[in-house]
Amino acid sequence: MTKKLFIKTYGCQMNVYDSERMAEAMGGEGYVTTDKPEDADMILLNTCHIREKAAEKVYSELGRYKGLKADKPDLKIGVAGCVAQAEGEEIMRRQPMVDLVVGPQSYHKLPELTQRTHNGAKALDTDFPEEDKFEHLKARPKAKRGPTAFLTVQEGCDKFCAFCVVPYTRGAEVSRPSQRVMTEARDLVERGVREITLLGQNVNAYHGHDGGLAGLIRELAGIDGLERIRFTTSHPNDMDEALIAAHGDCEKLMPYLHLPVQAGSDKILKRMNRSHTAEQYLKLIERLRAARPDLHLSGDFIVGFPEETEADFQDTLALIEAVKYGSAFSFKYSERPGTPAAERPQVPENEKDDRLQRLQALLTKQQRELQDAMVGRDVTVLFEKAGRLPGQMVGKSEYLHAVHVETDQHQRGDLAKVRIVSSGPNSLKGALIPELHTATA
């Protein structure tokens, strides 16, 4: 009898990828996914521990399912991901209705853990096993896929930034062997994927290929049918010359790079344990843009880090002015228990709020200016879905802009040359250049 699995995913693209693999692992046990928790035989929360009050949000979400559990006693409820890793037995203590807790390095054991719950036991696994979890996952089903896909190649982080829990929840840096990555990539392309985003907590520290991440990208570029390659998230200290060169001469590597800096003050960068200065970051940007002049950059920023002064904050604004970001993620600092920064003098909340508003205003201004500057330019769009209007398709440009195009010539998965004709608040409008468009064979 078919059983139904509901997965709610929090956080980054790596969690999206992990949720896909969890669903595939449970698919081998007869589960199919559903988007309605009330229809599910199993509810799984794949959690993230990065944002403020992450654990409390998970407990709140679990509270919403108490009624479902009462009405359906056989319903299994699990918590996976980084909150599961950090909280462990505390989750089961606070929410006895939870049947299983599994960390991000152990989710390949989901079928085994689920079987334990069917036998009336609770199941907990937050170990960092020596075996490669990806090798223990069942092969992906051969169903047709959408035109884009995530592919995890690296996990964990050895940087120990003072604000971050990733080294404690994901463990040390580990890279998947390139042969296994290539096998999975070819399988994705065979099922319709045309763009792959390589994922890692610190993806450019990847060492599973003799040539590092650049070597892996160049080998992936040789796969027929794979048209686009991206990667995220990067650390400035691991952006080596080979990877910079790849941005300049590897046509399938898209001209978009997410390269977090977090702050523009050397004092704050040192307190964050970022191991680079603002000047070193800016020089790195210069080298990247020398290799690829049209490169669009994205970043991460934390405001109100412990001991940040107004002068420090102004240094961050100055760095943003110098770089000109196409997009960015920005947050108020929030304490993470167990991290060094949590023990330091904190910036008042009202100052954090004020700085965040000013920083986001500058980033929004830059994003809009760069987006408006796209009008009149020709881009290549990979269509991902139908638009809201009849005869409209929506896709992403090589710069990761969402582009709306009126067309009856294309379907999902097609690539088309498009001229940008207008700029909206969060997307662009394009018109086909018919003589140059290319469709899926």
Where helices occur in 105-177 by DSSP H, the ranges are 110-118, 133-136, 166-169
| Stated pTM of the model | 0.81
Give the count of alpha carbons within 13 A of 222, CB side only. 7
User: What CATH number is given for 3-125 in this structure?
Assistant: 3.40.50.12160
pLDDT at position 140: 52
Q: In this structure, which topology does domain 378-436 adopt according to CATH?
A: OB fold (Dihydrolipoamide Acetyltransferase, E2P) (2.40.50)
The predicted-structure confidence for 192-242, as pLDDT tens digits, reads as follows 999 999 999 999 999 999 999 999 999 999 999 999 999 999 999 999 999
Strands (DSSP E) contained in 228-295 are: 228-232, 256-258
Helices 278-291 and 310-323 cross at an angle (nearest 10°) of 10
273, exposed or middle or buried, with CB in 10 Å at 0-12, 13-18, 19+?
A: middle
Kindly list the domain boundaries of the chain, sorted by start residue: 3-125, 378-436
Confidence class for position 135, pLDDT limits 50, 70, 90? low
- Please state, for a pLDDT cut of 70, what percent of the chain lies above it: 93
Question: Could you read off the pLDDT of 243-281 as tens digits, one per residue?
Answer: 999 999 999 999 999 999 999 999 999 999 999 999 999
- pLDDT tops 60 at residue 439: no
Give dist(CA 394, CA 406) in Å, integer.
Answer: 9
Phi, psi for 28 (deg, rounded to 5): -70, -15
Tens of pLDDT, residues 68-98 = 988 898 999 999 988 888 888 888 888 889 9
